[in-house]
Amino acid sequence: MTTFDDLWYTATEASQRAEQAYHQLSRQYEASLEFERRRGVSRSRFRTLSERIRLSGAPYGAHTIVYRPDGELLLVRHEGVDMWVLPGGEIQPGEEFREAARRELDEEAGVEATYEGLAILNRIAITCGEHETWGVLPVFAARAETTETAIDDPDGEISRAGWFADPPQDTRDREELLAWRERAL
């Protein structure tokens, strides 16, 4: 008996949705930088990420680079990955990318910010054995209006928030953040 593996179908649908999301973001915003990343994941994680992409186009949601006039960047400590990361996360049904980024910023850091546009438009290729799909990871730029942080993360993944002139070495995508800051500020 042959078992039907529906991952190829889910991956194909996800890739089509990612293409739509990429073109929507490209038309709506002008990103200052674009990067491509590749992540190999387990079968169950591939299914989860493919489903997220199929629904929104984004496997990891939307994020925000929040900066102060002195060039410091806001980072949050994500205990699930044991790294400093940009505030951000999953997109809820009916939510636009920037709305999701703003909601996540509020939950993870409690900082008020003025959104200026799309800072980085990432393309994330996700693989599992012979299966492959991709999604977008939009990162918006925002100027801080307040600097006091207050974490109200419903997922309990964020333990700290802080401002950094020099992001710690264990900052996810540190080089890309520094490249953006050098170019934009």
Q: Is the pLDDT of residue 155 over 90?
A: no
Task: Give the model's pLDDT for residue 138.
Answer: 98
Q: Is the pLDDT of residue 2 over 60?
A: no
Query: DSSP characters for 111-153?
Result: --EEEEEEEEEEEEEEEETTEEEEEEEEEEEEEES--------
Under 8 Å between Cβ of 114 and 143: yes
Q: Is the pLDDT of residue 3 over 60?
A: no
Q: Is the pLDDT of residue 123 over 90?
A: yes
**Residue range 147-170: mean pLDDT, rounded:** 94
Neighbours of 130 (CB within 10 A): 9
Query: How does DSSP classify residue 2?
Result: P
Neighbours of 133 (CB within 10 A): 26
**Residue range 120-126: mean pLDDT, rounded:** 97
Q: Among candidates 49, 139, 53, which has minimal Cα distance to 100?
A: 139
Query: Mean pLDDT in the chain?
Result: 94
Distance CA 101, CA 179 (A): 21
In this predicted model, what pLDDT tens digit does every residue of 46-95 receive, in sequence order? Answer: 999 999 999 999 999 999 999 999 999 999 999 999 999 999 999 999 99
Query: What band does 31 get if pLDDT is binned at 50, 70 and 90?
Result: confident
CATH number for the region 7-184 comes to 3.90.79.10
Distance CA 87, CA 102 (A): 9
The residue ranking higher by pLDDT, 6 or 3, is: 6
Q: Where are the domains of the chain?
A: 7-184
Q: Which residues pair with 88 in a beta bridge?
A: 63
Question: What separation in angstroms does the CA of 181 have from each of 29, 46, 104, 121, 135?
Answer: 18, 32, 21, 15, 24
Query: How does DSSP classify residue 104?
Result: H
**Residue range 144-149: mean pLDDT, rounded:** 95
